[in-house]
């Protein structure tokens, strides 16, 4: 598993999907100053990386959730990955909106799904886990059995662990913040002085101190 975490982290760094800037931090929409920005949408433009991710997600689903009947992507960032994964697994796919449409049929879940089907949710990134759990609940409200959530990247935040535990929902991410920093350090993409700063920032973020 650790090898996979490093491989996916390396792939994300190689295409700029994840950027580390300890000395020139990004500002998230929440206002938090962050030395990391993760934009997994860039994987769409790299056939090699998106195939690597799809195969890895599919392998995790086969290993940990072999009873899966259908793959559900979260709108919008999880949709392309759910499509590629469902193709690898030759399974049906749906996607889940953040809320029901206000027009047409008023669907929150797009695609054909039936009560009793066993579903795995595909997410691109997990921070607090709130959007993933919202998708899980929407599927459960339709009578589906949600087996778990798989994602490309997680920040390893305590709040996410708490939310998934409260929901009784397992989740698996291909890579995470710790693996990313380790790979970036080995590749000399960050300096020896930057590494402890990144770890300190992450510890504060993990425990809600930012």
Between CA 105 and CA 142 the distance in angstroms is 15
What pLDDT sits at residue 106? 61
Residue 193 has pLDDT above 90, yes or no: no
What pLDDT sits at residue 121? 98
Between CA 159 and CA 167 the distance in angstroms is 12
Tokens at residue 183, please? 């790979």
Residue 85 has pLDDT above 90, yes or no: yes
What pLDDT sits at residue 105? 63
Residue 117 has pLDDT above 60, yes or no: yes
What pLDDT sits at residue 102? 53
Tokens at residue 128, please? 């607090």
The model's pTM: 0.93
Residue 100 has pLDDT above 80, yes or no: no
The share of the chain scoring above pLDDT 90, in percent, equals 74
191 secondary structure, DSSP code: -
Q: Residue 47 CA to chain centroid, in angstroms?
A: 18
Helix, coil or strand: residue 98: coil
Residue 196 has pLDDT above 80, yes or no: yes
Between CA 135 and CA 99 the distance in angstroms is 9
Residue range 19-59, pLDDT digits in tens: 998 888 998 877 888 899 999 999 999 999 999 999 999 99
Residue range 160-186, pLDDT digits in tens: 999 999 999 999 999 999 999 999 999
Residue 1 has pLDDT above 80, yes or no: no
For the chain, where are the E strands, in sequence order?
18-20, 26-27, 33-34, 36-38, 70-74, 93-96, 109-110, 118-126, 145-154, 171-176
Residues 6+ apart with CB under 8 A from 29: none
Mode of pairing for the β-strands spanning 26-27 and 33-34: antiparallel
Residue range 59-72, pLDDT digits in tens: 999 999 999 999 99
Give the 3-state secondary structure percentages of the chain, helix then strand then coil, rounded to 5: 45, 20, 35
């Amino acid at each position: 598993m650790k090898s996979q975490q490093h491989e996916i982290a390396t792939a994300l760094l190689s295409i700029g999907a994840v950027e580390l800037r300890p000395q020139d931090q990004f500002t998230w929409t929440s206002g938090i100053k962050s030395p990391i920005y993760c934009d997994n949408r860039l994987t769409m433009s790299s056939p090699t990386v998106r195939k690597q991710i799809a195969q890895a997600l599919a392998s995790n689903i086969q290993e940990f959730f072999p009873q899966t009947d259908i793959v559900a992507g979260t709108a919008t960032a999880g949709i392309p990955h759910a499509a590629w994964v469902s193709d690898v697994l030759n399974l049906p796919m749906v996607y889940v909106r953040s809320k029901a449409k206000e027009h047409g049929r008023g669907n929150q879940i797009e695609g054909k799904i039936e009560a009793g089907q066993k579903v795995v949710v595909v997410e691109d990134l997990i921070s607090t886990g709130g959007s993933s759990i919202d998708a899980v609940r929407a599927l459960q409200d339709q009578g589906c059995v949600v087996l778990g959530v798989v994602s490309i990247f997680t920040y390893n935040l305590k709040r996410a662990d708490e939310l998934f535990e409260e929901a009784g929902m397992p989740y698996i991410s291909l890579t995470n913040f710790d693996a990313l920093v380790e790979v970036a350090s080995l590749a000399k993409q960050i300096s020896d002085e930057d590494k402890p700063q990144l770890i300190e920032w992450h510890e504060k973020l993990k425990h809600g101190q930012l």
